[in-house]
Amino acid sequence: MNLEMTHNNNIIEVKNLVKKFDDFIANDNLSFEVKKGEIFGFLGANGAGKTTAIKILCGISYPTSGEIKIDGLDVYKDREKIKKRIGYMSQKFSLYDDLTIIENIRFYAGIYGMSRLEIKKRSVELLERLNLTHAKDRLISDIPLGWKQKLAFSVAVFHNPAIVFLDEPTGGVDPVTRRQFWELIYESALKGITVFVTTHYMDEAEYCDRVSIMVDGRIEALDTPELLKEKYNSIDINEVFLKLARVS
Amino acid sequence: MKRLIGFIRKEIYHIFRDYRTLIILFGIPVAQILIFGFVVTNDLRDVKIAVLDQSKDEVTTAIMDKIISSGYFVLEEELQSIDQIDPAFRTGNIKEVIIFESNFAEKLEKNGQADLKIIADASDANTGNLIANYTQGIILNYLNEMYKNIQIPYTINKYERFFYNPNLKAVYMFIPGTMALILILISTLMTSISITKEKELGTMETLLVSPLQPWHIIIGKVMPYIFLAFSNAVIILILGYFVFGVPINGSIILLLVSSILYVSLALSLGIFISTLSDSQLTAMFISMLALMLPTMVLSGFIFPIENMPKIIQWLTAIMPARWFISILKQIMIKGSGILFIWKELVILTSMTVLFIVLSIKRFKIRLE
Q: pLDDT tens digits, residue range A136-169?
A: 999 999 999 889 999 999 999 999 999 999 998 9
Q: Which residue of B has its CA nearest to A95?
A: B203
- DSSP character at residue B101: P
A80–B202 C-beta distance less than 8 A: no
Residue A2 has pLDDT above 50, yes or no: no
Three-class SS of residue A175? Answer: helix
CB of B209 within 8 Å of a chain A CB? The answer is yes
* Residues B173 and B271 placed together within one structural domain of the fold: yes
Calculate ∠ Cα B62-B63-B66, nearest 5°.
85
pLDDT at B186 over 70: yes
* Distance (Å, whole) CA B68 – CA B31: 33
Whether B293 maps to a domain, the answer reads: yes
Residues B138 and B261 in one domain: no
Contact between A199 and A168 under an 8 Å Cβ cutoff? The reply is: yes
Q: How far apart are CA A188 and CA A153, in angstroms?
A: 10
Q: Look at residue B364 in the predicted model and tell me its pLDDT.
A: 65
Q: Please indicate, yes or no, whether the overall pTM of this predicted structure exceeds 0.80.
A: no
Pick from A60, A88, A149 the residue to mutate for testing the B interface (most B CBs within 10 Å): A60
Question: Does residue A112 or residue B112 have the better pLDDT?
Answer: A112
Q: ipTM value of the model?
A: 0.88
Q: Does B36 share its domain with B51?
A: no
Q: What is the CATH number of the domain that holds B125?
A: 3.40.1710.10
Query: How many alpha carbons fall within 13 Å on the CB side of residue A87?
Result: 27
Alpha-helical segments (H) within A16-72: 50-58
DSSP assigned state of B305: G
Cβ of B210 and A108 within 8 Å? Answer: yes
Mark which of B98, B114, B146 sits at the end of a domain: B146
Give me the architecture of the A3-247 domain, per CATH.
3-Layer(aba) Sandwich (3.40)
Cβ distance of A113 and B208 shorter than 8 Å: no
Rounded to 5°, the CA angle B272-B273-B279 comes to 130
Shared domain for B217 and B298, answered yes or no, is yes
- Asked if the structure places residue B338 within a domain, the reply is yes
Contact list in B for residue A112 (CB cut-off 8 A) is 210-211
Q: Is the pLDDT of residue B350 over 70?
A: yes
* Chain B: closest CA distance from residue A112 (Å): 6
| Residue B121, domain member (yes or no) | yes
Q: Does B211 touch chain A (CB under 8 A)?
A: yes
Alpha helices, DSSP H only, in chain A? 3-6, 50-58, 79-85, 101-111, 116-129, 145-156, 175-190, 225-231, 237-247
A186, pLDDT greater than 70: yes
pLDDT for position A8: 67
Measured CA to CA in angstroms, residue A208 lies from A49, A176, A224, A229, B257 at distances of 19, 18, 8, 13, 59
Confirm if A138 and A117 have CB atoms less than 8 A apart.
no
Q: Are residues B285 and B357 in the same domain?
A: yes
Cα of A141 to nearest chain B Cα, Å: 12
Nearest to B51 by CA among B41, B61, B42, B43: B61
A98 → chain B, closest CA residue: B14
Same domain, yes or no: B119 and B186: no
- Verify whether the Cβ–Cβ distance B367 to A60 is below 8 Å: yes
Higher-scoring residue by pLDDT: B162, B82: B82
Q: Is residue B158 part of a domain?
A: no
Residues A59 and B210 sit within 8 Å (Cβ to Cβ): no
In this complex, the residue of A94, A112, A165 whose CB is nearest that of residue B203 is A94
Question: What is the mean pLDDT of the segment spanning B64-79?
Answer: 89
Residues B85 and B225 in one domain: no
Q: Are residues B52 and B35 in the same domain?
A: no
Q: Which of B18, B205, B211 sits opposite A80 (nearest CB)?
A: B211
Q: Which residues of A touch B13 (CB under 8 A)?
A: 96, 98-99, 103
Question: Of A61, A94, A107, which has the smallest distance from its Cβ to B10's Cβ?
Answer: A107
Q: Encode pLDDT of A32-63 as tens digits.
A: 999 999 999 999 887 888 888 998 998 888 88
Question: Would residue B110 count as lying in a domain?
Answer: yes
Separation in Å, CA B138 to CA A48, B68, B71, B99, B110: 83, 10, 11, 15, 23
Residue B297 lies in a domain: yes
Q: Evaluate whether residue B157 is within a structural domain.
A: no
What tens digit of pLDDT does each residue of A189-226 get? 999 999 999 988 888 888 999 999 998 889 999 999 99
Angle at A141 between CA A135 and CA A146, to 5 degrees: 70
User: Does one domain contain both B267 and B301?
Assistant: yes
Mean residue pLDDT of chain B comes to 86
Buried b or exposed e, range B316-340, using 16+ CB within 10 angstroms: beebbbbbbbbbbbbbbbbebeeee
Q: CA B1, CA B23: separation in Å to the nearest integer?
A: 31
Q: Which of A60, A99, A113 sits opposite B209 (nearest CB)?
A: A60
In which band, very low, low, confident or very high, does the pLDDT at B152 lie, cut at 50, 70 and 90?
A: low
Three-class SS of residue A39?
strand
Do residue A92 and residue B212 have CB atoms under 8 angstroms apart? Answer: no
**Structural domain total, chain B:** 2
Q: Parse chain A into domains and list their residue ranges.
A: 3-247
CA distance between the termini of chain B: 28
pLDDT band at B156; cut points 50, 70, 90: low
B1 lies within 8 A of chain A by CB: no
For residue B90, is pLDDT > 90? Answer: no
Residue ranges in chain B assigned as alpha helix (H): 2-17, 19-38, 58-69, 85-91, 104-111, 125-146, 171-201, 203-209, 214-242, 252-276, 280-298, 310-316, 320-328, 342-365
- What is the span of the domain harbouring residue B64? 47-146
Q: Which pairs count as long-range contacts for B80-86, CB under 8 Å and 24+ apart, including other chains?
A: B80/B52, B81/B52, B82/B52, B84/B52, B85/B50, B85/B52, B85/B119
Interface contact flag, A110 B203, Cβ < 8 Å: no
Within 13 Å and on the Cβ side, how many CA atoms surround A191? 15
Tell whether B314 is covered by a domain: yes
What CA–CA distance (Å, rounded) separates A57 from A224? 22
**pLDDT grade, residue B352 (50/70/90)?**
very high
For chains A and B, what is the number of CB pairs under 8 angstroms? 78
The verdict on B264 and B343 lying in the same domain is yes
> Is there a contact between A58 and B209 if contact means CB atoms under 8 Å apart?
yes
What is the Cα B159 distance to its own chain's centre? 28
Specify whether B193 is located in the same domain as B113: no
Q: Which residues in A lie closer than 8 A to residue B199 (C-beta atoms)?
A: none
B17-40 tens-digit pLDDT: 988 888 888 888 888 888 877 776
Instruction: Indicate which of B193, B205, B364 best probes the interface with A, i.e. most A CBs within 10 Å of its own CB.
Output: B205
Q: Are residues B190 and B271 in the same domain?
A: yes
Chain B residues 167-206 with a CB less than 8 Å from chain A: 201-203, 205-206
